[in-house]
């Protein structure tokens, strides 16, 4: 199973780190480190940059903002480090944070280093050497929901994260905020999403009364699986968007990524993870399992799922906007207009059939 463990690759041009500076910094703060340094990069993701750092036999991960951005990046890195430090004792799936600095003389930006969790990370399709039968696929998808429920059940006050967000009015703020962001980032070739935004505004539920630590990007490729038991989740990564809020909105954001095997071809094309395997829970089964674990009832599945689709489209549109206006030449971004159109078509289909 070692061949299935997620591996870093060579560093993209323009995103290199000065190895000696990193080594000097690490040895100053972690004096037990011995040996030469090796740095590689994890290739996926569109936001903060993630590097594999090995000193001697010690394996770590370094996170820093993208090159060229200055505005809120220090805040982002500090928040990630703060939540990992506070959560690790009560939510063991977090990586162990090791050191954080805002000193830009080291790498030109704030960054932090954490322990590496070695395991399997699922991408679009299963690796050739990994397979799940129907029962294993079901168990894994159930474990994903159970882990998300565990996160939402953490006593955030006791963990020292009571000031980590503003949960009051969270649903309304999210709908209005993401609508504004979409309108600001819309390009002439993008769908207008106005019907979806109007429906979300009209159908949003009242305050659920639930408040928890929410990840805001909780999905398979942000989790780490046990190489010896791949249905077991042993780590949760990428905490840059975590905050306090309504857990049902976090679940809705996760459902937006979930492409089922019977979804139409235009959704299959944008599938990012193997959620289409025989045995995987459907979106509605995930929602029902979650509400059962939380001991609540909700008739707003259509709203939360549609919100997840819309939010994902906004994120893609914001990235595509940068490409459209020549702010980045990353060829991956050129293709994002098609997923944005597919997400609108899917949301409109949900709305057309909804009883809300």
- How many angstroms separate the CA atoms of 83 and 248, rounded? 20
Q: What are phi and psi of 223, to 5 degrees?
A: -120, 155
pLDDT of 12 = 80
pLDDT of 144 = 98
pLDDT of 3 = 57
pTM of the model: 0.91
pLDDT of 69 = 52
pLDDT of 45 = 58
Q: What are phi and psi of 153, to 5 degrees?
A: -90, -5
Name which of 348, 246, 247 is nearest 302 in CA terms: 348
- Name the token pair of 327: 């702010």
List the chain pLDDT tens, one digit each, 356 residues: 445 667 777 888 778 899 999 999 999 999 999 999 999 998 765 568 899 999 999 999 999 988 765 545 445 888 889 999 999 999 999 999 999 999 999 999 999 999 999 999 999 999 888 999 999 999 999 999 999 999 999 999 999 999 998 999 999 999 999 999 999 999 999 999 999 999 999 999 987 889 999 999 999 999 999 999 999 999 999 898 899 999 999 999 999 999 999 999 999 999 999 999 999 999 999 999 999 999 999 999 999 999 999 999 999 999 899 889 988 777 888 889 999 999 999 999 999 999 99
Sign of the C-alpha dihedral, residues 161, 167, 173, 174? Answer: positive
Q: What would the CATH number be for the domain defined by 2-115?
A: 3.30.200.20
Alpha helices, DSSP H, located in the chain:
19-29, 73-87, 104-107, 134-152, 170-185, 194-203, 247-255, 265-268, 283-294, 301-324, 337-353
- How many angstroms separate the CA atoms of 221 and 274, rounded? 10
Q: Are 231 and 132 in contact (CB under 8 A)?
A: yes
Neighbours of 310 (CB within 10 A): 27
Q: What are phi and psi of 226, to 5 degrees?
A: -65, 120
Superfamily holding 134-353:
Aminoglycoside phosphotransferase (APH), C-terminal lobe (3.90.1200.10)
pLDDT of 71 = 45
pLDDT of 226 = 96
For the chain, which residues make up each domain, given as ranges? 2-115, 134-353
Q: What are phi and psi of 238, to 5 degrees?
A: 60, 75
- How many angstroms separate the CA atoms of 232 and 204, rounded? 34
Question: DSSP secondary structure string, 26-77?
Answer: HHHH-TT--S-EEEEE----SSSEEEEEEETTEEEEEEEPPTT--SSHHHHH
DSSP label of 325: T
pLDDT of 73 = 42
């Amino acid at each position: 199973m070692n061949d299935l463990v997620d591996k870093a690759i060579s560093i993209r041009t323009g995103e290199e780190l000065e190895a000696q500076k990193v080594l000097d910094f690490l040895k100053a703060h972690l004096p037990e480190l011995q040996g030469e340094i090796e740095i590689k990069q994890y290739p996926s993701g569109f936001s903060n940059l993630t590097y594999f750092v090995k000193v001697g036999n010690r394996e770590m991960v370094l996170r820093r903002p993208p090159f060229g951005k200055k505005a809120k990046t220090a805040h982002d890195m500090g928040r990630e480090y703060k939540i990992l430090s506070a959560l690790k004792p009560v939510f063991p799936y977090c990586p162990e944070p090791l050191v954080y600095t805002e000193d830009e003389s080291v790498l030109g930006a704030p960054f932090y280093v954490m322990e590496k969790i070695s395991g399997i990370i699922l991408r679009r399709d299963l690796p050739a050497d990994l397979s799940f039968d129907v029962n294993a696929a079901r168990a894994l998808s159930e474990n994903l929901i159970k882990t998300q429920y565990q996160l939402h059940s953490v006593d955030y006050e006791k963990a020292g994260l009571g000031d980590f967000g503003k949960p009051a009015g969270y649903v309304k703020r999210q709908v209005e905020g993401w609508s504004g962001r979409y309108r600001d980032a819309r390009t002439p070739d993008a769908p207008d999403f106005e019907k979806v935004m109007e429906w979300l505004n009209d159908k949003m539920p009242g305050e659920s009364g639930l408040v928890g630590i929410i990840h805001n990007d909780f999905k398979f490729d942000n989790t780490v699986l046990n190489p010896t038991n791949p249905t077991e989740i042993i780590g949760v990564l990428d905490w840059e968007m975590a905050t306090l809020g309504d857990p049902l909105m976090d679940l809705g954001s996760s459902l937006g990524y979930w492409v089922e095997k019977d979804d139409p071809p235009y959704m299959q094309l944008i599938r990012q993870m193997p959620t289409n395997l025989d045995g995987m829970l459907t979106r509605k089964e995930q929602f029902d399992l979650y509400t059962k674990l939380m001991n609540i009832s909700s008739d707003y599945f259509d709203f939360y799922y549609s919100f997840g689709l819309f939010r994902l489209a906004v994120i893609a549109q914001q990235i595509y906007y940068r490409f459209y206006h020549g702010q980045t030449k990353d060829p991956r971004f050129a293709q994002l207009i098609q997923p944005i159109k597919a997400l609108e078509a899917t949301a409109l289909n949900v709305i057309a059939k909804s009883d809300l």
